[in-house]
Chains A and B, each alone.
Chain A
Amino acid sequence: MKNFISKTLIAALSSSLLFATCKKDEVLPNNNTPEELASMSVEFDNIVGGQNLFLNTTNYTNAAGEQFNISQLQYFVSNIKLHKTDGSYYTVNADSSYFLIKESDAATRYARFKAPAGDYNQLSFVLGVDSLRSTMDISKRTGVLDPAGGHDGMYWGWNSGYIFFKMEGISPVAPVDPTGQRKFRYHIGGFGGYSAPTLNNIKTITIDLTASGIAQARKGRNSNIHLMVDVMKAFNGSTTLSIAANPSVMFSDYSVNIANNYTSMFYHDHTEN
């Protein structure tokens, strides 16, 4: 009993400490009951250069002059934060802030969440899955984070961790692979390592909404922040990615170049308040 009391005390103390530190960071307090929160969403509208993305059927050309189509595109978005002009911000509840955006499933293009009513001029999120969640007990990894879930393999079993970004397609410049296809495969992940430090491809994306429309979250309405996601940027960035030279990039040092490239995929188009 004594043990229980001391444990409870420690838990209470540490959680109050947690709140105390939060205040310093000017986190907006979430005193609202769920019914009082406003509905919000971020829409991820995948495009390739100036064109719509159509899986399998349309060919595109990258900066290396290589033609390709895309057969699969999916990525994790997590840890959504909304910022106000006064510097304060609201962090979406961690247990409902993990989204797998899949081009093949239109319903997944929206990351939907709740936030206190207010005017938000900046959005930030993590492209990938943070290291805390990547090493959490398996019982805390449900939904899109379920390592067993049939999410077309967004999890590496052999080297425990999530694949953050996955893009595959066919290109005439890719070598014939063992399945007889000219396929390129980019599976980018790496949360920094648990038992030893290694690749960290976790990227935080920050987007200013001022120019194209701030998000006005109001109870009873849904504010939708519409982002364009230009996946051509994964090829054309500080590194010019060549499919011929790198047809398959997974857990390797080269993946850092692709991750650096794709951080510039996102731009704000408009907000529907």
Chain B
Amino acid sequence: MNKKYCFFCFGFIFLVSCSKEIMNSFQGFKKPANFPESTYRFAENEITANKFELGRKLFYEPRLSRNNTISCGSCHIQSAAFTQHGHDVSHGIDDRLGTRNSPPIMNLAWMPTFFWDGGVFDLDLQPIVPITNHVEMDEIVENALRKLRSHPQYPLLFKKAYGDTAITTARTMKALSQFMLLCVSAESKYDSVSRNLGATFTSQEQQGYLLFKQKCATCHAEPLFTDFSFRNNGIAIGLNNDQGRYMVTLNDADKYKFKVPSLRNVEFTKPYMHDGRFVTLDAVLDHYSSHIQSTPNLDPLLSTGIPLNIQDKINLLAFLKTLSDRNFLTNKLLSEQ
């Protein structure tokens, strides 16, 4: 009996120290040395360990969905750089399907707009979309907040984070922002090379890098590997005639444009494009080299495609893999606890 009790105690202490250890490594938000200044308004949402922990719990909380089955983490899986591995379009509540591919939750502090069409301009407003979307979590935010209020833990977690137990829209959204803002990926081989931390590119990676700078970096600009612009990259118009950015601006010049995605961790974020139509990176490179379609508003940079021979593609793929950040994919701080 005593032994059992001791064992239980020991296990409990172990668990506590484990999560404590993880939080001991919590350093708040740190701008990586090779990154530009972030654009998120941290002054209105100062990062603290308690708010971050609350945000992480909310991120993995299925109660934010109508029938308590889908959490943010359902379609944003850490091991796939917070995308939904293996799904062309997001797979939500009641097995309903969305129309677009889940984008990674990564380096959002630098992102001026959210979603493939940039319809949301403030990270704090972002979670409202998947929570209320009929095919994603299909819940009314006010309802979700009610569930949190009657939960045995959340009022105390909100108190720890904000000083009292009130659970409001702003507090909930800002806590979620804190978690997402700390999903920073900046520890790839590329970063190690670019920060002179000792790593060097192989000759193949180096050749791929030179090629990348020549042929890809205008849109996939370093070091975030996107210029955050909206472009039509010449993929055929989808059967659902998704007009992308146009739906937000109603400007004809934006028809069929989608946000340039970052290429960080691209090795793990398949399938590719706004509707996940390409399942391999080879298919993506083949598209740029030989299958560009001349649809309205095709980006002028792509009007003749990107000439790439077989060796070029091999070198480019070698470089793209240097953007993989395994620490990001396995960092316990970002995992469901």
Q: Are B122 and A148 in contact (CB under 8 A)?
A: no
Chain B residues with CB under 8 Å of A137's CB are 41, 44, 122, 124, 170
**How many chain-A residues does the 8 Å CB contact rule pick out?**
26
Chain A residues with Cβ below 8 Å from B168 are: 142
In the complex, A30 has a CB within 8 A of chain B: no
A137 vs B44: C-alpha distance in the bound complex, in angstroms? 8
Chain B residues packing against A (C-beta within 8 Å) = 41, 44, 112-113, 115, 118-122, 124-125, 128-129, 132-133, 140-143, 145, 168-170, 172-174, 247-251, 254
Give the nearest-CB partner of A159 in chain B.
B119
Q: Which A residues are in CB contact (< 8 Å) with B125?
A: 138, 147, 157, 160
Determine whether A139 belongs to the interface, using a CB cutoff of 8 Å to chain B: yes
Structural contact, A147 and B128, CB atoms closer than 8 A: yes
Name the A residues within 8 Å of B121 (CB-CB): 135, 160, 194-195
A139: chain B residues within 8 A (beta carbon): 44, 170, 174
* Residues in A neighbouring B250, C-beta threshold 8 A: 198-199, 251-253
Whether the Cβ atoms of B169 and A148 lie closer than 8 Å is: yes
B141 proximity list for chain A (CB < 8 A): 147-148
Verify if A119 is at the interface (C-beta below 8 Å from B): no
* Residues of B with C-beta under 8 A to A251: 247, 250
What is the total of A-B residue contacts with beta carbons within 8 Å? 81
Tell me whether A138 and B41 are in contact in the complex, defined as CB-CB below 8 angstroms, given that A148-B145, A150-B140 are known contacts: no
Residues from chain A with Cβ under 8 Å of B118 in the complex: 195-196
A193 at interface by CB-CB < 8 Å: yes
Closest A residue to B127 by beta carbon equals A157
B140 pairs with A160, CB closer than 8 A: no
Q: Contact check, B251 vs A198: say whether CB atoms are below 8 A apart.
A: yes
A269 in the interface (beta carbon within 8 A): no
| CA gap between A102 and B254 in the complex, in Å | 36
Q: A149 CA to B142 CA in the complex, in Å?
A: 6
**Cα distance A141–B141 when bound, in Å?**
14
Judge if A146 is at the interface, Cβ distance under 8 Å: yes
Which residue of A has the minimal Cβ distance to B173? A138
Q: Which of B112, B142, B169, B174 contacts A195 (CB 8 A)?
A: B112
B328 to chain A, nearest CB (A): 27
Separation of A142 and B115 alpha carbons in the complex (Å) = 25
Judge whether A158 and B129 touch: CB under 8 Å. yes
**Residue among B124, B129, B247, B248 with the most chain A CB within 10 A?**
B248
- Provide the main secondary structure of the chain A interface: loop
Minimum C-beta distance from B274 to chain A (A):
14
Q: Which residues of A contact B129 (CB under 8 A)?
A: 157-158
Report how far A140 CA is from B247 CA in the complex, Å.
Answer: 27
B232 to chain A, nearest CB (A): 15
In angstroms, Cα B170 to Cα A196, docked, is 25
Q: Give Cα A137–Cα B113 distance, bound, in whole angstroms.
A: 15
In chain A, what residue has the closest Cβ to B228?
A195
Q: Which residues of A sit under 8 angstroms from B251, Cβ to Cβ?
A: 196, 198
Q: Which residues of B have CB within 8 Å of A146?
A: 169
Q: Pick the contact of A159 from B140, B145, B247 — CB < 8 Å?
A: B247
**How far is the CB of B251 from the nearest CB of chain A, in Å?**
7
Who on chain B is nearest to A194 by CB?
Answer: B121
30 contacts between A and B (CB under 8 A): A137-B41, A137-B44, A137-B124, A139-B170, A142-B168, A147-B128, A147-B169, A148-B128, A148-B141, A148-B145, A150-B140, A155-B128, A157-B125, A157-B128, A157-B133, A158-B115, A158-B133, A159-B119, A159-B120, A160-B122, A160-B125, A193-B248, A195-B113, A195-B121, A196-B251, A198-B249, A198-B250, A198-B251, A251-B250, A252-B250
B143 / chain A contacts, CB cutoff of 8 Å? 150
Q: Which of A153-212 contact B (CB under 8 A)?
A: 155, 157-160, 193-199
Instruction: Give Cα A175–Cα B249 distance, bound, in whole angstroms.
Output: 28
- How many Å lie between the Cα of A149 and that of B174 in the bound state? 16
Q: Report which residue of B41, B247, B250 has the largest number of chain A beta carbons within 10 angstroms of its beta carbon.
A: B250
Residues in A with CB closer than 8 Å to B173 are 138
A141 to chain B, nearest CB (A): 8
Given A150-B142, A196-B249, A198-B249, A158 and B120 contact (CB-CB distance below 8 Å): yes
Establish whether residues B122 and A135, one from each chain, have CB atoms under 8 Å apart when the complex forms: yes
Chain B contacts of A198 at CB under 8 A? 248-251
- Complex: chain B residue closest to A149, CB-CB: B142
Instruction: Verify B122–A138 contact, CB threshold 8 A.
Output: yes
Interface hub of A137, A142, A155 (most chain B Cβ within 10 A): A137
Q: How far is the CA of A194 from the CA of B41 in the complex (A)?
A: 16
Q: Which residue of B lies closest to A155 (CB)?
A: B128
Q: Within 8 Å CB of A135, what residues of B?
A: 121-122
A126-147 interface mask toward B, CB cutoff 8 Å, 1 = contact, 0 = none?
0000000001011101100011
Bound-state Cα–Cα, A253 to B250, Å = 7
CB pair B122–A157 under 8 Å, yes or no, is no
Q: Which residues of B contact A197 (CB under 8 A)?
A: 249
Q: Which residues of A contact B249 (CB under 8 A)?
A: 193, 196-198
Q: Using Cβ atoms and an 8 Å threshold, which residues of chain B touch A199?
A: 250
Query: Could you tell me the distance between the alpha carbons of A160 and B124 in the complex, rounded to whole angstroms?
Result: 11
Residues of B contacting A158 in the complex (Cβ-Cβ under 8 angstroms): 115, 119-120, 129, 133
In the bound complex, CA of A134 to CA of B52 (Å): 26
Whole-angstrom distance between the Cβ of A49 and the nearest chain B Cβ? 32
Q: Chain A nearest CB: distance from B132 CB in Å?
A: 5
Give chain A residues whose Cβ lies under 8 Å from the Cβ of B112.
195
